Chain A
Amino acid sequence: MFNLFLAVSPEIFLINATFILLIHGVVFSTSKKDDYPPLVSNVGWLGLLSVLITLLLLAAGAPLLTIAHLFWNNFFRRDNFTYFCQILLLLSTAGTISMCFDSFEKERFDAFEFIVLIPLPTRSMLLMIPAHDLIAMYLAIELQSLCFYVIAASKRKSEFSTEAGSKYLILGAFPSGILLFGCSMIYGSTGATHFDQLAKILTGYEITGARSSGIFMGILFIAVGSLFKITAVPFHMWAPDIYEGSPTPVTAFLSIAPKISIFANMSRVSIVASYGGTLQQIFFFCSIASMILGALAAMAQTKVKRPLAHSSIGHVGYIRTGFSCGTIEGIQSLLIGIFIYASMTIDAFAIVPALRQTRVKYIADLGALAKTNPILAMTFSITMFSYAGIPPLAGFCSKFYLFFAALGCGAYFLAPVGVVTSVIGRWAFYYIRLAKRMFFDRPRTWILYEPMDRDKSLLLAMTSSFITSSFPYPSPLFDLTHQMALSSYL
């Protein structure tokens, strides 16, 4: 018996918790009696706690489902795929929150609203993953984007942050409009918004060979909207600016959590709407472009966060090769890619704020880190090597499976391009350059960094042990992703 309340209890809890947190913050931070206390750390811990409780509720409330369940007017669909994606999403959100505390203190950034603004988009992403209807999908995406616009501008006194926020708002409005336009075109052509109905209609079209330019344009616009959100290459230009301008925890959040939810959503859409190969071709083109650009553009950068943004663009390109296959192996390799990408990115972004934001802006500042903070330097270079996809680390696993799937479905052009860009850009110039800076450069002025705080070092220990251990013992990850991919097709 499928218990509806249990199924949605995580979302309900998270909404309530967010509002309670907000009220708590408003009441106490303005109370004269308590001398206007700085609440950011307090609210941060509470936020982390509420995310973890959500995780618990999710894990307890919806045990492994072998059959998919539709609920709430068939707006949402819950199966193994959504279950694990949501767990991953919550884990990465928890990671992001836990890496914030220290940087708040360091930067005198006292705005508890920021923490409140993290669970809010998390909840919308939680809804976005199981969304199984165009309307639900659009609403979830919009809610998420609105939160992001605010969060990007959360450091009000920094002109970079405000610039990033406003840019994001303006640029984000267009793809949202296009997405909605695409949805309405599909609805206009078919009269359906539910994915199951759409799947039936589109299969019918495919079998009869009829062509409808309305459906085609609709799918295209939805794809373009999603590609924008996920920073695929022709629509990527906003990403480096915004990633660089926003505070580092925001950048971390923006480059991990939405990727998971949008990928989950896109894989739903792509399974439904494999109409005339349209999506495949677009994804194919975008993957190649992203890989090449991610490799080349990162080379000339001199700042620390900008290359990380480019690297996320490139990685998203790699992961998207999973879509261009259109097979179950493709989806599986995509999921493996996301899992590993999330852990590597948390790792990388936990390190960057550890090297105090105010000083580390340029790559050159990392010089001789190996002498001053050897363990940190080693962790950072392990992460970089994993990004580059060097064998005993997790990054290799994900790339290997992605290219394997691409070759398996006959994308004989995609895989070699991926390998070549992976080698050229990342290997030689960019990731290794960071490692070289840390280990072999002798800067004129030595920068001494403070040791890392405990939350972050715990987080780093967890993610980097995942990175190093998932290659020697990969079968749990494979089993998991295989189940997920399977259930998304059922």
Chain B
Amino acid sequence: MEHTYQYAWVIPLLPLPVIMSMGFGLFLIPTATKNLRRIWAFPSILLLSIAMVFSVHLSIQQINGSSIYQYLWSWAINNDFSLEFGYLIDPLTSIMLILITTVGILVLIYSDDYMSHDEGYLRFFVYISFFNTSMLGLVTSSNLIQIYFFWELIGMCSYLLIGFWFTRPIAASACQKAFVTNRVGDFGLLLGILGFFWITGSLEFRDLFKIANNWIPNNGINSLLTTLCAFLLFLGAVAKSAQFPLHVWLPDAMEGPTPISALIHAATMVAAGIFLLARLLPLFISLPLIMSLISLVGTITLFLGATLALAQRDIKRSLAYSTMSQLGYMMLALGIGSYQAALFHLITHAYSKALLFLGSGSIIHSMEPLVGYSPDKSQNMVLMGGLRKYIPITRTTFLCGTLSLCGIPPLACFWSKDEILSNSWLYSPFFGIIASFTAGLTAFYMFRIYLLTFDGYLRVHFQNYSSTKEGSLYSISLWGKGISKGVNRDFVLSTTKSGVSFFSQNIPKIPRNTRNQKGSFSAPFGAKNTFVYPHETGNTMLYPLLILLFFTLFIGSIGIHFDNGVKDNGISELTILSRWLTPSINFFQESSNSSINSYEFLTNAISSVSLAILGLFIAYIFYGSAYYFFQNLNFQNSLVKIKKNPKKNFLDEVKKKIYSWSYNRGYMDVFYTRVFILGIRRLAELTHFFDKGVIDGITNGVGLAGFCIGEEIKYVGGGRISSYLFFFLCYVSLFLFFIP
């Protein structure tokens, strides 16, 4: 029993030998290594599987025995300062270990096929295995310094992988953006760590929690400094988990290869922020101000992410915004103190989102031969549609992922999201309203993605043989209508109607757009590839999808409340997850207890599911097959009542605004560019001038003076013994007289 714990340090180190041998191989014998490249995938998957077996074993022990195990080595010890490093195995760690290893293995298997024709196949595997190592290291860390160390490593891996295709300028700038944005958070994290070290004198979690526990009886400590430091720590989590002010990097990060988006930017790395907060929750819980800040930021993010996802054309970008929104849910759950719900959602979301991303990779893979290898085209949902005929397996898995994320009952995300929703209602109606509303919105935009991709018919060919006018109408109205639901879901009918006038207004613009679109993408391969259809991807890519589908279907069961009626001291729930998590955290029993009641659970579930279904339905109306019916209707209507309702104009204005707000990512990127980047450029120019003129002058002056003095000294004495002795005696007498 103990042995497993003792050797747990090996988990993060397991993938390391492959990385090193691959790296050295690339350096020393590049040709041979590259010729054998497909072989390298096998040991990296194998070692990660060993890590997975190990972590599964650990978590079984955690479920049964649930003791926290910590092992420390001393690294540098001084009188007043000791730094130790080691590892910590507790329920949180074991959950994260399983999550990382399972998703990691599936993504590795997947990317073997996905990247098989890429020049940087080995480089990719080195990076991704190194990421796995550092992520596993992060979750097993036992103090804040270690956390920071691995935090930076995963940041670096993310940077390298986003810019994996660095020859593309967009990818290059995207990875820089991600890195710089994360630097803000990392800086905050470092300051926070140092601040807490200053306050408490320790970097160990144990000591921190002990000190924080002492604050709780005093109704939390109100010291400004403590709050500031906690805020700075939180800033690190905000940047890494793409929360509101620092979320801008996540959508751009989709420039990386799709397996990376699945592993790093959906399942694991972005969860690092959540993990950090969950790890430090006993500390944060004693600072009510920070807790409310966390929940506020979470709420803003979940709403913002959902609205921004409404009008994206790029399939991966929509998914990225959805990730951001779901992370907002977790943040909210942590902020309101329902630790268990947050972690539950973390797990379910990770599997569902990894499924969705891998599915989108499969879609992209199948689209690429048709539309070309530019991500502008192969990821553009305008050009997709009707894929269900061609790639049925991907479609099925993608649908399940979509439904899970929407919160449809038997699937994973339903259970977790429902828990978060009910807890947020209990905490504050404000958060509850926004969270539930966003749940509906989630269903809408997720189903929009699904329908645009799989429903209808393939628009690449459609562009070629359909009449010009109709085709362009379709694409215009597609985006025009996407927005209206975000605002007023109560006016379902009115939106369909309002689509009418919007539609008719836009008619003058149409011809220009048509030309552009035709010129841009249909011309080059229209002649050649007109009748090429997408193909299902290879088995190596489909197996991970199926396994993830399995997870998506059943992972929810670990958090389902079985009402077995075993009521001892008020805790009647028997969920595996709660058994797993209970010992590490005792503060949240009240909130989780309140949701035991099966009746209450049922009402909550019904309301949330009905919201989700409403969203689904609306999406279906606008993007599904039924659309054509409405389109025709609109078309007729538009002829009839062109200037019938003046009030509609105002609604159109609103809609247009919201559409462009969503499509332009809430103008936030523009704002950041204008304010921060330009401001920093100006400052840089100023400091450059100062540096050139003043600082360099001083430095050069000192250097010059030093050089002159050096030349002088060279000739003092001149090598004569007599003068040496003279100086010697001079100094002795000087000492004798002047030093009392």
Q: Which of A217, A228, A475 contacts B728 (CB 8 A)?
A: A228
Query: Smallest CB-CB separation from A245: which chain B residue?
Result: B719
> What are 21 A-B pairs with beta-carbon distances under 8 A?
A167-B721, A171-B724, A171-B725, A171-B728, A175-B728, A220-B739, A224-B732, A234-B731, A234-B734, A237-B717, A238-B724, A241-B719, A276-B740, A278-B739, A296-B713, A299-B706, A300-B707, A300-B713, A425-B706, A429-B703, A475-B75
Query: Smallest CB-CB separation from B708: which chain A residue?
Result: A300
In the docked arrangement, what's the CA distance between A424 and B727, Å?
Answer: 27
Indicate whether A37 reaches chain B with its CB closer than 8 angstroms. no
Indicate whether B490 reaches chain A with its CB closer than 8 angstroms. no
Indicate whether B714 reaches chain A with its CB closer than 8 angstroms. yes
**Which residues of chain B come closer than 8 Å to A293, judged between CB atoms?**
713
In the docked arrangement, what's the CA distance between A178 and B77, Å?
Answer: 44
Closest 10 CB pairs of A and B: A300-B710, A234-B731, A299-B710, A297-B713, A300-B711, A237-B724, A296-B710, A296-B709, A237-B717, A300-B714
CB distance from A297 to the nearest CB of B (A): 4
Indicate whether B76 reaches chain A with its CB closer than 8 angstroms. yes
In the docked arrangement, what's the CA distance between A235 and B707, Å?
Answer: 22
CB distance from A382 to the nearest CB of B (A): 20
**Which residues of chain B come closer than 8 Å to A281, judged between CB atoms?**
739
Q: A167-B721, A429-B707 are in contact. Are A282 and B76 (CB under 8 A)?
A: no
Q: Which of A224, A278, A285, A295 contacts B706 (CB 8 A)?
A: A295
**Which residues of chain A come closer than 8 Å to B728, judged between CB atoms?**
171, 174-175, 228, 234-235, 237
Indicate whether B702 reaches chain A with its CB closer than 8 angstroms. yes
**Which residues of chain B come closer than 8 Å to A203, judged between CB atoms?**
none
CB distance from B83 to the nearest CB of A (A): 10
**Which residues of chain B come closer than 8 Å to A474, judged between CB atoms?**
76
Indicate whether A470 reaches chain B with its CB closer than 8 angstroms. no
Indicate whether A99 reaches chain B with its CB closer than 8 angstroms. no
What residues of chain A have their CB less than 8 Å away from a CB belonging to chain B?
167, 170-171, 174-175, 178, 217, 220-221, 224, 228, 234-235, 237-238, 241, 276, 278, 281-282, 285, 293, 295-301, 424-425, 428-429, 474-475, 478
**Which residues of chain A come closer than 8 Å to B725, judged between CB atoms?**
171, 174
Are A171's CB and B739's CB within 8 A? no
In the docked arrangement, what's the CA distance between A224 and B714, Å?
Answer: 23
**Which residues of chain A come closer than 8 Å to B77, judged between CB atoms?**
475
Query: For the complex, would chain A's binding face be called helix, strand, loop or mixed by DSSP majority?
Result: helix
**Which residues of chain A come closer than 8 Å to B703, judged between CB atoms?**
424, 428-429
CB distance from A343 to the nearest CB of B (A): 20
Are B714's CB and A220's CB within 8 A? no
Indicate whether B736 reaches chain A with its CB closer than 8 angstroms. yes
How many residues belonging to B are interface residues under a CB distance threshold of 8 Å?
A: 29
In the docked arrangement, what's the CA distance between A175 and B702, Å?
Answer: 35
**Which residues of chain A come closer than 8 Å to B719, judged between CB atoms?**
241
Indicate whether B735 reaches chain A with its CB closer than 8 angstroms. yes
In the docked arrangement, what's the CA distance between A299 and B710, Å?
Answer: 6
Knowing that A282-B735, A429-B706 are A-B contacts, what are 12 other residue pairs whose CB atoms are under 8 Å apart, sorted by A's residue number? A171-B724, A174-B725, A224-B731, A234-B727, A237-B724, A278-B739, A281-B739, A295-B706, A299-B710, A301-B714, A428-B703, A475-B77
Are B727's CB and A237's CB within 8 A? yes
Query: Smallest CB-CB separation from A329: which chain B residue?
Result: B79
CB distance from A357 to the nearest CB of B (A): 21
Query: Smallest CB-CB separation from A425: which chain B residue?
Result: B706
**Which residues of chain B come closer than 8 Å to A428, judged between CB atoms?**
703
Are A298's CB and B710's CB within 8 A? yes
CB distance from A210 to the nearest CB of B (A): 15
Query: For the complex, would chain B's binding face be called helix, strand, loop or mixed by DSSP majority?
Result: helix
Are A178's CB and B721's CB within 8 A? no
Are A424's CB and B739's CB within 8 A? no
Query: Smallest CB-CB separation from B702: which chain A residue?
Result: A424
Are B706's CB and A170's CB within 8 A? no
In the docked arrangement, what's the CA distance between A237 and B724, Å?
Answer: 6
CB distance from B242 to the nearest CB of A (A): 33
Find residues 428-451 in chain B having any chain A CB closer than 8 Å to their own CB: none
**Which residues of chain A come closer than 8 Å to B707, judged between CB atoms?**
299-300, 429
Q: A171-B724, A174-B728 are in contact. Are A296 and B706 (CB under 8 A)?
A: yes
**Which residues of chain A come closer than 8 Å to B74, judged between CB atoms?**
475
**Which residues of chain A come closer than 8 Å to B731, judged between CB atoms?**
224, 234-235
Are A297's CB and B76's CB within 8 A? no
In the docked arrangement, what's the CA distance between A429 and B719, Å?
Answer: 24
**Which residues of chain B come closer than 8 Å to A429, judged between CB atoms?**
703, 706-707
**Which residues of chain A come closer than 8 Å to B734, judged between CB atoms?**
234
In the docked arrangement, what's the CA distance between A170 and B722, Å?
Answer: 10
Query: Smallest CB-CB separation from A298: which chain B residue?
Result: B710
CB distance from B345 to the nearest CB of A (A): 40
In the docked arrangement, what's the CA distance between A295 and B707, Å?
Answer: 10
CB distance from A170 to the nearest CB of B (A): 6
**Which residues of chain A come closer than 8 Å to B732, judged between CB atoms?**
178, 221, 224
Q: Which of A167, A224, A297 contacts B735 (CB 8 A)?
A: A224
**Which residues of chain B come closer than 8 Å to A224, judged between CB atoms?**
731-732, 735
In the docked arrangement, what's the CA distance between A170 and B723, Å?
Answer: 12
In the docked arrangement, what's the CA distance between A478 and B77, Å?
Answer: 9
In the docked arrangement, what's the CA distance between A281 and B739, Å?
Answer: 8
Are B76's CB and A475's CB within 8 A? yes
Query: Smallest CB-CB separation from B77: which chain A residue?
Result: A475
CB distance from B733 to the nearest CB of A (A): 10
Are A170's CB and B721's CB within 8 A? yes
**Which residues of chain B come closer than 8 Å to A282, judged between CB atoms?**
735, 739
In the docked arrangement, what's the CA distance between A417 and B77, Å?
Answer: 28
In the docked arrangement, what's the CA distance between A282 and B703, Å?
Answer: 28
**Which residues of chain B come closer than 8 Å to A217, judged between CB atoms?**
736
Find residues 514-565 in chain B having any chain A CB closer than 8 Å to their own CB: none
Query: Smallest CB-CB separation from A421: which chain B residue?
Result: B706
**Which residues of chain B come closer than 8 Å to A301, judged between CB atoms?**
710, 714
**Which residues of chain B come closer than 8 Å to A235, judged between CB atoms?**
728, 731
In the docked arrangement, what's the CA distance between A299 and B717, Å?
Answer: 17
In the docked arrangement, what's the CA distance between A112 and B256, Å?
Answer: 69
CB distance from B73 to the nearest CB of A (A): 11
Q: Which of A220, A238, A424, A475 contacts B736 (CB 8 A)?
A: A220
In the docked arrangement, what's the CA distance between A163 and B685, Å?
Answer: 58
**Which residues of chain A come closer than 8 Å to B716, judged between CB atoms?**
237
Find residues 12-66 in chain B having any chain A CB closer than 8 Å to their own CB: none
In the docked arrangement, what's the CA distance between A184 and B740, Å?
Answer: 20
**Which residues of chain A come closer than 8 Å to B740, judged between CB atoms?**
276
CB distance from A439 to the nearest CB of B (A): 21
**Which residues of chain B come closer than 8 Å to A276, judged between CB atoms?**
740
In the docked arrangement, what's the CA distance between A171 and B722, Å?
Answer: 9
> Which of B75, B716, B724 gathers the greatest number of chain A CB atoms within 10 Å?
B724
Query: Smallest CB-CB separation from A238: which chain B residue?
Result: B724
CB distance from B731 to the nearest CB of A (A): 4
CB distance from B698 to the nearest CB of A (A): 11
In the docked arrangement, what's the CA distance between A297 and B710, Å?
Answer: 4
Q: A224-B735, A234-B727, A474-B76 are in contact. Are A424 and B706 (CB under 8 A)?
A: yes
CB distance from A456 to the nearest CB of B (A): 27
CB distance from A215 to the nearest CB of B (A): 14
CB distance from A151 to the nearest CB of B (A): 19
CB distance from A367 to the nearest CB of B (A): 21
In the docked arrangement, what's the CA distance between A300 and B707, Å?
Answer: 6
CB distance from B403 to the nearest CB of A (A): 52
**Which residues of chain A come closer than 8 Å to B727, judged between CB atoms?**
234, 237
**Which residues of chain A come closer than 8 Å to B702, judged between CB atoms?**
424
Query: Smallest CB-CB separation from B703: which chain A residue?
Result: A428
In the docked arrangement, what's the CA distance between A39 and B601, Å?
Answer: 97
In the docked arrangement, what's the CA distance between A299 and B714, Å?
Answer: 10
Query: Smallest CB-CB separation from A292: which chain B residue?
Result: B709
CB distance from B725 to the nearest CB of A (A): 6
In the docked arrangement, what's the CA distance between A234 and B726, Å?
Answer: 11
In the docked arrangement, what's the CA distance between A222 and B589, Å?
Answer: 76
Are B735's CB and A220's CB within 8 A? yes
**Which residues of chain A come closer than 8 Å to B706, judged between CB atoms?**
295-296, 299, 424-425, 429
CB distance from B715 to the nearest CB of A (A): 9
CB distance from A224 to the nearest CB of B (A): 5
**Which residues of chain B come closer than 8 Å to A237, judged between CB atoms?**
716-717, 724, 727-728
